[in-house]
Amino acid sequence: MKGLARLIDRLEAASDDAVRVQVLARHLRSLADADRVWVLALVTGHAPRRAVTGAQLRAWASEAADLPAWLVDDSLAVAGDLAETLAHLLPRPDDDDGPAPGLAETMARLRDIAAVDPGARKAGVLRLWTVLPPEARAVANRLLTGSFRGVVTPGLASRALAEVTGGDAAAMAQRLAAPWDPATTRMADLTPEPDGALRPYPFAPARPLDAAPETLGPAGDWAAAWHFGGLRVQAIRRGGGWQVWAPEGEPVTARFPDLDLLARLLPEATVISGEIVLSDPTSGQPLPAALAARMARKTLSARHLADAPAVLVAHDLLDLAGDALGLMPFATRRDRLDMLCARLPSGAPIRPAPAVVEEGWPNRARALLRGRALGARSMWLTRRAAPFAATEVMDWSPPPMSIAAVLIHAEVGQGPGPLAAFTFAVRDGVALVPVAKASDGLPPEDRAELSAWVRANTTDRFGPVRQVPPVQVFDIGFSAATAAPRRKSGLMLEALRILSWHRDRAADDIDTLDTLRALSRM
288 interacts with other proteins by CB under 8 A:
no
Strand partners, 113: none
User: By C-alpha distance, which of 146, 270, 197, 222 is closest to 391?
Assistant: 222
Q: How far is the CB of 67 from other proteins (least distance, A)?
A: 6
Which span sits near other proteins by CB under 8 A: 60-68, 183-191, 260-268, 439-447?
60-68
The letter for the amino acid at 258 is: D
Binding residue for other proteins, selected from 37, 39, 60, 85, defined by CB under 8 A:
85
Kindly state the DSSP code that residue 175 receives in the 8-state scheme: H
Please enumerate in sequence order all residues whose Cβ is within 8 A of that of 6, keeping only pairs 6 or more positions apart, or say none: 135
Q: End-to-end alpha-carbon separation of the chain, Å?
A: 46
Cβ pair 50, 146 in contact under 8 A: yes
Name the minimum Å distance from CB 80 to other proteins: 4
We find the least distance from the C-beta atom of residue 5 to other proteins, in angstroms, to be: 10
Residue 314 CA to residue 335 CA, distance in Å, equals 12
- Per CB under 8 A, does 98 bind other proteins? no
Q: Which stretch binds other proteins (CB under 8 A): 2-10, 205-213, 296-304, 383-391?
A: 2-10
- Please report whether residue 68 would count as binding other proteins according to CB under 8 A: yes
- Nearest distance from residue 158's CB to other proteins, in Å? 19
Of the two residues 133 and 146, which places its CB atom closer to other proteins in the complex?
133
Q: With contacts defined by CB under 8 A, name the span among 70-78, 411-419, 465-473, 477-485 that binds other proteins.
A: 70-78
Count of residues engaged in binding other proteins, rule: CB under 8 A: 31
Residue 70 contacts other proteins per CB under 8 A:
yes
Comparing CB distances to other proteins, the nearer of 26 and 351 is 26
Rounded alpha-carbon distances, angstroms, from residue 275 to 58, 258, 380, 393: 45, 14, 12, 13
Q: In whole angstroms, what is the distance from residue 315 CA to residue 313 CA? A: 7
Neighbour order of strands in the sheet with 378-383? 206-208, 393-396, 378-383, 222-227
The reply on whether position 17 binds other proteins by CB under 8 A is no
Nearer to other proteins, 100 or 104 (CB): 100
CB of 56 to other proteins, least distance (A): 19
The 3 state secondary structure assigned to 438-489 is ECCCCCHHHHHHHHHHHHHHCCEEECCEEECCCCCEEEEEECEEEECCCCCC
Candidates 75, 332, 458, 479: give the one binding other proteins (CB under 8 A).
Answer: 75
Of 367, 335, 362, 369, the C-alpha closest to 448 is: 362
Stretch that binds other proteins, among 9-17, 45-53, 148-156, 364-372 (CB under 8 A): 9-17
CB 398 within 8 A of CB 341: no
Contacts with other proteins, 119-148, as mask; x by CB under 8 A: --------------xx---x----------
Report the site for other proteins in 18-47 (rule: CB under 8 A). 19, 22-23, 26
Task: Decide: is 494 part of the binding site for other proteins (CB under 8 A).
Answer: no
Q: Which of 32, 53, 69, 81 binds other proteins (CB under 8 A)?
A: 81
Sign of the Cα torsion 110, 112, 115, 117 reads negative
Q: Does 78 bind other proteins (CB under 8 A)?
A: yes
- Does 88 engage in binding with other proteins (CB under 8 A)? yes
Q: Which stretch binds other proteins (CB under 8 A): 62-70, 240-248, 279-287, 433-441?
A: 62-70
Q: Which of 509, 479, 504, 511 is nearest to 494 (CA)?
A: 479
User: How many Å apart are CA 115 and CA 129, to the nearest integer?
Assistant: 18
Q: Counting contacts by CB under 8 A, is residue 485 touching other proteins?
A: no
**CA pair distance 490, 251, nearest whole angstrom:** 52
Chain residues that interact with other proteins, rule: CB under 8 A: 6, 9-10, 12-13, 15, 19, 22-23, 26, 65, 67-68, 70-72, 74-75, 78-81, 84-85, 88-89, 91-92, 133-134, 138
